[in-house]
Amino acid sequence: MAQLHLHHLQNSRSFRILWLLEELELDYQLTKYERNQAYLAPESLETAHPMGKAPILEVDGVPMIESGHIIDYLMAKYDTKYQLHPKTDADSQSWLDYDFWLHYAEASMMPPLVMRLVFHKIAEQAPALVRVVTKKIRQKVEATMISKNINTSLDLVEKQLSDNQWFAGSEFSAADVQMGFVLEAINTREGLNPTKYANILNWIKRCQARPAYQRAVEKGGKLDF
């Protein structure tokens, strides 16, 4: 078996890979990194990969980046026992749901959250002379672009989880791992309405109750946004 080495940054997407490694019960080396005062990844991560961003999974010393890419690799190489991705053909609903949500997490849900964070930091750190202007720009972008996109995504997710226990149907899959980070981030930072988003909140509880999730927290730290 290949030697696996996960470079894990606190409160980052690399929690997904840590969680998935625990779900697969694989042997791996774990190196943890703390964010700096600016809440950025430390420069030491660049020694593992020039991008200097987590997750980074080394396979026999060769670094891999991007959550979706790493998940696809782990599923193809190691998912023989737990079947965390559908083995059925690409026309089946379970496979279509799995693949859709695996990509939706980063392609559609994360960008507006990142945009919200960036504009918040700009308004917060702007010089006093332009702070009023930057605040108004932030409010305008939030009202016209960010909030609508996030709310539309949440409504879509809530609908999926009203008809299914997990994102790919009745069985837990790596798509749930991929979606976990973004939904926990939204809920922790903003607090999802328990009446409007009851299915999402129940899904988060089911994820957090999984033994592999709890082991990931013990080893890599709790997600704290």
The answer to whether residue 113 scores a pLDDT higher than 80 is yes
Work out the number of other CB atoms within 10 angstroms of the CB of residue 23: 23
pLDDT value at residue 57? 98
Banded pLDDT at 217 (limits 50, 70, 90): very high
pLDDT value at residue 211? 98
Q: Give the distance between the most distant pair of CA atoms in the chain.
A: 60
How confident is the model over 204-215, as a mean pLDDT? 98
- Report the C-alpha gap between 152 and 109 in whole angstroms: 10
Amino acid identity at 48: A
pLDDT value at residue 158? 98
Task: Write the DSSP symbol of residue 60.
Answer: T
Q: Count the alpha carbons within 13 Å of 106 in the hemisphere toward its beta carbon.
A: 14
Banded pLDDT at 40 (limits 50, 70, 90): confident
pLDDT value at residue 16? 98
Q: Domain 93-213: which topology?
A: Glutathione S-transferase Yfyf (Class Pi); Chain A, domain 2 (1.20.1050)
Work out the number of other CB atoms within 10 angstroms of the CB of residue 53: 19
Tokens of 182: 């973004």
What is this structure's pTM?
0.92
Q: Domain 4-82: which topology?
A: Glutaredoxin (3.40.30)
- Report the C-alpha gap between 110 and 47 in whole angstroms: 26
Q: Which pLDDT tens digit goes with each residue over 143-187?
A: 788 899 999 999 999 999 999 999 999 999 999 999 999 999 999
The answer to whether residue 88 scores a pLDDT higher than 80 is no
Question: What are the residue boundaries of the structural domains of the chain, listed by start?
Answer: 4-82, 93-213
Backbone angles phi, psi at 123, to 5 degrees: -65, -35
Banded pLDDT at 46 (limits 50, 70, 90): very high
β-strand pairing of 29-33 with 56-59: unpaired
Q: Which pLDDT tens digit goes with each residue over 52-83?
A: 999 999 999 999 999 999 999 999 999 988 89
Contact 40, 19 (CB under 8 A): no
pLDDT value at residue 175? 98
151: left (phi over 0), alpha (psi -120 to 50) or beta: alpha
